[in-house]
Amino acid sequence: MKKNSNIKLHITMFLAFATLILSCDKKQNNHLKLNDQEYFQSRGLNVLVYTSWYNGLFSDEKKSGIELIHHEVRTATNGDVRLGPTPEQWDPIPTFRERKVDHENGTIEAFLHYPAFNFEYSVKVSQEGPSVNISVNLEYPVPEKLIGKAGFNLEFIPPAYFEKGYLMDEKSGTFPLYPSSSMEIKNGVVDPLPLATGSSLVLSPEDPKTRVAINSRMGDLALYDGRDKAQNGWFVVRSLLPAAKTGKVLEWTLEANTIPGWTRPPVIGHSQQGYHPDQPKKAVVELDRNDQSTSSAKLIKIAGDGSEEIVIGKALTQWGAYLRYNYGTFDFTEIKENGLYVIEAGNTRTEAFKISADVYGTAWQPTLDIFFPVQMDHMFVNEAYKVWHGKSHMDDALQAPVDWVHFDLYAQGPTTDTPYQPGEHIPGLDIGGWYDAGDFDIRTQTQCYVVQNLVNTWEAFGLDRDQTSIDQTLQYVDIHKPDGKADLLQQIEHGTLALIAQHRAVGHAIHGIVAAHLSQYTHLGDGVTKTDNLIYTPQLDSFKTDGFRSGTFDDRWAFTSRTTPLNYRSIAALAAASRALKGYNDALADECLTTAINVWKEEHAKEPDLFHHGNTTGGALDDEELKAATQLLLSTRDPQYAKRISELWPTIDRNFGQHASRIAAVLHLLDDDLKNKIPQRVAQYKIWMDSIETQNPYGVPVTTGGWAGSGAVVGFGITAYDLHQAFPDIIGSEYVFKALNYLYGNHPGSDISLVSGVGTKSKKVAYGNNRADYSFIAGGVVPGVLILPPDFPENKEDWPFLWGENEYVVSVASAYLYLANAADHLLNK
């Protein structure tokens, strides 16, 4: 008995020792390490330190400073010194100077400054086992003007913490679903009071997937709700920087919990809209680098009684590594039978999708039926029992002041280039046009692009669908109510009215019309409440009106500096519209073509006006002239335009991808020399198109800028279709389907359709002007997957306020309208 007791004791001691060793190994394996991509990494956690920086375009874009990617969800950003507890988008941001990465000691240090205050500092991050140490270091004390204002902030995205708790020292609380903090006014500034203060904070202690602990070794922590000041605010953890101190003035320890052995489930990229029986069908399976078990996939057909049949199952074809994941492909092109299907890989199963010949026949309809009507400015837009918005901006527009730079990429030069003085009302601009994006400006470059795409769609596919009543006299729109007129023609007319109004009013294209005040620009909700719809006059006191005019300065500004590239882009759209409107609105069609011809003559009779600012004044001069020449040639068949196109061959050759579609459209009208050059150039372009297959597993261009790449992918697909139509022996049709499949869910990061309301699972939370309602506009297309440096694909499905991922723009929607019909035409001629 004694011997057996000793054996049991030894076994117990051995098991305890083994458990201790395994526990130590787990902790050791979970230690953060500075990797070759220059961020701190452990299984389930990345700590990024200034891997990207505010690009200066829109100030705070919520993707800089110290950031956390926690179990493959970016939950925190903007770890940096800021000048308020909950900074808004246009509040001051520091200037980035340099970043030093020390692999030997495991540290990253960023050096920054606020030039306006002569304030310099560094933020240093070092690894401490499973934690990171964050410090702010000063060579000189905080400037007197910033004492009590400058502090280190780290922002946490609200939906990751909704319905979860927090512990601040001994105080407990829950994160509010709706902002409801108490506010205070200090020195004329309104800020929220903190939800809690203390020296130790644990966010989401009950959830191991989102638990984060922060301890301040110097100074107190405060937890704020940034949504109290702006709907796009995040939860902010903050410590003030002390006065009259140098060296290390702030120090935090941050530990984000990770689940031992955590592996991200596979993502099965596929078309949520489904597939035509005769098209290629290839899903892309995105795998965690630690996933060693998912090596095959199967296609399952779902019967009416719920029973399932595995119709194909096979090993994934290994593609390799891209971004931070491994990829395999699953080709099921051979399956052509109509029906509902799902794909399974590992422990992931997709939503049901269809294989059917009508898969693209209706995919474009929400865009034409819903999205475009909702975006119509200067119109009352109704849908059944719902009013989307009233008749907005009927007080358009005031002449913008000279030498003025606007906060949203507009600028006015040293003169108005119009008969109007700064602040004077320009009559005739209260007609036509679409809200450019999730905001309310009418950006002329966009309007031209949209009109051109709609005309291309009309001419190529002749869509005569009629589901919307549009009355330009009453300025009234009623969705789901036919009026006997083709909706596509009515939308072309609406955009054209805005463009021709500019030439009527001031004799040339203008950059656009936009809110004069930042407080108006950030307006969310019904556009009719943005202004009083009465023309401003300074002769009346503020908030006074005579019933026709108003003393309230809420009218939008028109930016009017003359620019030749923008004029060319405008007359290209007008020339194109003249063809589509012939027989529908003959007077407008004739005016458009006459205007386009006359402006072309005027521009060629003088030196070009090259005023340029942001993305509102047109592109390169020769690119824009080529656009005008091709449309004038199609509308007039005048050989002078063909001659000019031939002279612009260097421009065509240099930017072939940009101009390939328009050249294909006029090829039959060009001289033999140019006709002979094009096929060789198309063959060269195909080599580039095919090379994309070696760059990513999706076979389409995935952009890496600050705005995600849906637009580039759609453009790629359209160019492929137009070249396939013109040169079917050189360019195949497969690129068209790759582009659409990318939009419909075959992309990095998730499998969601980027077209709201199209596909089984699509974007339901997007950045429209209704974004504060966490809602969507059917048929709108979001920018999509943003590649955050160095390697993280993101498209937030629970947070609409990241415009680079989720903002609808009418330009991409109009291009999508063409591409979806192109696919349907290829398969169902």
Q: What percent of the chain has pLDDT over 70?
A: 96
pLDDT for 3-48, tens place per residue?
444 444 443 343 343 333 334 444 445 799 999 999 999 999 999 9
Q: Is the dihedral of CA 819, 825, 827, 828 positive or negative?
A: positive
362-608 belongs to which CATH class?
mainly alpha
How many angstroms separate the CA atoms of 439 and 233, rounded?
17
* Distance of alpha carbon 334 from alpha carbon 124, whole angstroms: 55
Identify any residues that bridge with 212 across adjacent strands, giving them in sequence order: 203, 256
416 touches 361 (CB < 8 A): no
Closest by CA position to 86, among listed 242, 304, 237, 260: 237
Tokens of 4: 């057996």
Burial class (CB in 10 A: 0-12, 13-18, 19+), 302: middle
Give whole-number Cα distances, 695 to 629, 688, 701, in Å: 35, 11, 9
**DSSP bridge pairs for 800:** none
Give the torsion sign (CA, 308, 311, 315, 320). Answer: negative
Is the bond preceding 116 in cis, omega lying within 30 degrees of 0? no
User: Considering only CA atoms, which of 620, 694, 696 is closest in space to residue 658?
Assistant: 620
Q: Which of 612, 800, 567, 793 is nearest to 696 (CA)?
A: 793
Global model pTM greater than 0.85: yes
**DSSP 8-state secondary structure symbol assigned to residue 547:** S
DSSP codes of every residue in 570-583: HHHHHHHHHHHHTT
Residue 287's DSSP bridge partners are 326
Residues 6 or more apart whose Cβ sits within 8 Å of residue 255: 130, 131, 132, 212, 213
Give the model confidence (pLDDT) of 691-734 as tens digits: 999 999 999 999 998 899 999 999 999 999 999 999 999 999 99
Q: Name the pairing type of β-strands 296-302 and 308-315.
A: antiparallel
Distance of alpha carbon 520 from the chain centroid: 22
User: Which pairs from 450-453 meet CB under 8 Å and 24+ separation?
Assistant: 450/495, 450/810, 450/811, 450/814, 451/492, 451/495, 451/496, 451/499, 451/573, 451/576, 451/577, 452/572, 452/573, 452/576, 452/627, 452/631, 453/811, 453/814, 453/815, 453/817, 453/818
- The torsion angles phi and psi of 495, rounded to 5 degrees, stand at -65, -40
| pLDDT higher than 50, residue 283 | yes
> Within the chain, what is the greatest distance between any pair of CA atoms?
113
Band (60; pLDDT cuts 50, 70, 90): confident
Query: CA 328, CA 270: separation in Å to the nearest integer?
Result: 12
pLDDT of res. 57? 60
At residue 630, the pLDDT reads: 98
pLDDT tier at 1, thresholds 50, 70, 90: very low
At what angle are helices 672-691 and 710-726 packed, to 10 degrees? Answer: 130
Identify the DSSP state of 773.
G
Three-class SS state of 477: strand
- Residue 759: phi and psi, rounded to 5, are 100, 160
C-alpha atoms less than 13 angstroms from C-alpha of 593 in its C-beta half-sphere: 19
Judge whether 648 and 622 are in contact, CB under 8 Å: yes
With beta carbons less than 8 A apart as the criterion, state whether 789 and 394 touch: no
CA gap 72, 791 in Å, rounded:
12
Confidence at 295, pLDDT banded by 50, 70, 90: very high
> What digits encode the pLDDT tens for the residues 488-542?
999 999 999 999 999 999 999 999 999 999 989 999 989 999 999 999 999 999 8
| Secondary structure class of 334 (helix, strand, coil) | coil
CATH architecture of 267-355: Sandwich (2.60)
What 3 state SS string does 76-105 have?
Answer: EEEEEEECCCCCCCCCCCCEEEEEEEECCC
Cα–Cα distance measured from residue 702 to residue 688, given in angstroms and rounded to the nearest whole number: 14
Task: Tell me what pLDDT residue 590 has.
Answer: 98
pLDDT at residue number 16:
41
Going by pLDDT thresholds of 50, 70 and 90, the confidence category of residue 543 is confident
Residue 764: closest CA among 751, 748, 742, 780? 780
pLDDT value, residue 26? 44
Give the helix/strand (H/E) hosting 28.
Answer: helix 2-29
The DSSP output letter for 32 is -
* 327, β-bridge pairs: 286, 320
Question: CA 424, CA 398: separation in Å to the nearest integer?
Answer: 5
pLDDT tens digit sequence for 207-242: 999 999 999 999 999 999 999 999 999 999 999 999
Q: Which residues pair with 276 in a beta bridge?
A: none
Residue 560 reports pLDDT greater than 80: yes
CB 440 within 8 A of CB 393: yes
- For the segment 635-645, what is each residue's pLDDT rounded down to a tens digit? 999 999 999 99
- What is the DSSP track for 159-219? GGTTT-EEEETTEEEE--SS----EEEETTEEEEPPSEEESEEEESTT-TTT-EEEEESSS
| CA–CA dist 369, 374 (Å, integer) | 9
The Cα–Cα gap between 273 and 763 comes to: 13
Domain-wise residue ranges, the chain:
31-256, 267-355, 362-608
Q: Is the CB of residue 769 less than 8 Å from the CB of residue 525?
A: yes
Residues 293 and 326: beta-carbon distance below 8 Å? no
DSSP state of 349: E
Per-residue CA distances from 435 to 166, 345, 377 (Å) = 41, 42, 6
Pull the structure tokens for residue 658: 């940009």
Q: Report the sign of the C-alpha dihedral through residues 72, 35, 109, 220, in that order.
A: positive
Q: Identify the pLDDT of residue 351.
A: 98
Site of tokens 């003559």? 601
Residue 427 CA, distance from chain mean position: 34
The CB-side HSE value for 410 (13 A sphere, CA atoms) comes to 28
* pLDDT score recorded for residue 761: 98
> Taking the domain 31-256, which CATH number applies?
2.70.98
> What is the structure's pLDDT at 30?
78
Reported as a single tens digit per residue, the pLDDT across 611-656 is 999 999 999 999 999 999 999 999 999 999 999 999 999 999 999 9
**Cα dihedral sign for 768, 459, 659, 449?**
negative
Structure tokens at 24: 């130590």
- Cα–Cα–Cα angle for 55, 57, 59, rounded to 5 degrees: 75
Question: Is the N-terminal amide bond of 790 cis, ω within 30° of 0?
Answer: yes
Mean pLDDT of the chain: 94
Q: What is the pLDDT of residues 396-455, one digit of tens each?
A: 999 999 999 999 999 999 999 999 999 999 999 999 999 999 999 999 999 999 999 999
